[in-house]
């Protein structure tokens, strides 16, 4: 016979599993959409998804506590930039939903000769703000690259880092 505590624990576990499954599906669908949309090769992000990352997994469990919504993280399936240039257009942004909660930093890493190199790291980006142009430390030759956009949220109160996200993307230099 199950007690109410065991039933609640099982229900919470099922809900967390469903939320994680939905997040994975959204990320995969965003990647597929980006793959099919990438044939146009316009500068900037192609496709993309947004999802929430819980900044911590701790909870007090009290009914009167306000539930934590997590930090909204923008994502992209592909990034198209001009080849052989260091000044490139991007669309890195911190959604308004993070206002008063989180600042974000962005780091662009690209796989070159088998290892990932950081080509750009931003300073703190406030909620509702965006970065539209960045300076790469090294220009990229024409071609397609595996890339990772590392997004690090910081709590607005005290600037402590929370869970981060690595968005796997395709970078196209043309």
Question: Could you tell me if residue 6 is left (phi over 0), alpha (psi between -120 and 50 degrees) or otherwise beta?
Answer: alpha
- Note the pLDDT of residue 79: 86
Q: What is the pLDDT of residue 105?
A: 95
Q: What is the DSSP letter of 55?
A: S
Looking at residues 163-172, what average pLDDT do you find?
89
Q: How confident is the model at residue 127 (pLDDT cuts 50, 70, 90)?
A: very high
pLDDT at 84: 97
Question: Tokens at residue 124, please?
Answer: 């703190």
The whole-angstrom distance between residue 68's C-alpha and the CA centroid of its chain comes to: 18
pLDDT per residue as tens digits for the range 128-150: 999 999 999 999 999 999 999 99
């Amino acid at each position: 016979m199950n007690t109410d505590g065991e039933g609640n624990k099982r229900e919470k576990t099922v809900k967390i599993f469903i939320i994680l499954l939905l997040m994975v599906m959204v990320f995969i669908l965003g990647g597929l959409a980006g793959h099919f949309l990438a044939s146009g090769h316009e500068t900037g992000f192609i496709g993309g998804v947004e999802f929430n990352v819980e900044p911590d997994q701790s909870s007090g469990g009290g009914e009167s506590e306000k539930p934590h919504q997590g930090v909204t993280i923008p994502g992209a399936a592909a990034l198209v930039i001009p080849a052989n240039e260091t000044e490139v257009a991007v669309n890195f942004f911190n959604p308004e939903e993070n206002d008063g909660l989180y600042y974000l930093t962005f780091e662009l890493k690209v796989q070159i000769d088998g290892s990932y190199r950081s080509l750009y790291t931003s300073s703190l980006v406030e909620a509702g703000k965006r970065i539209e142009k960045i300076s790469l430390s090294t220009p990229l030759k024409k071609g397609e690259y595996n890339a990772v956009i590392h997004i690090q949220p910081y709590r607005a109160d005290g600037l402590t880092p929370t869970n981060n996200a690595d968005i796997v993307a395709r970078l196209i230099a043309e």
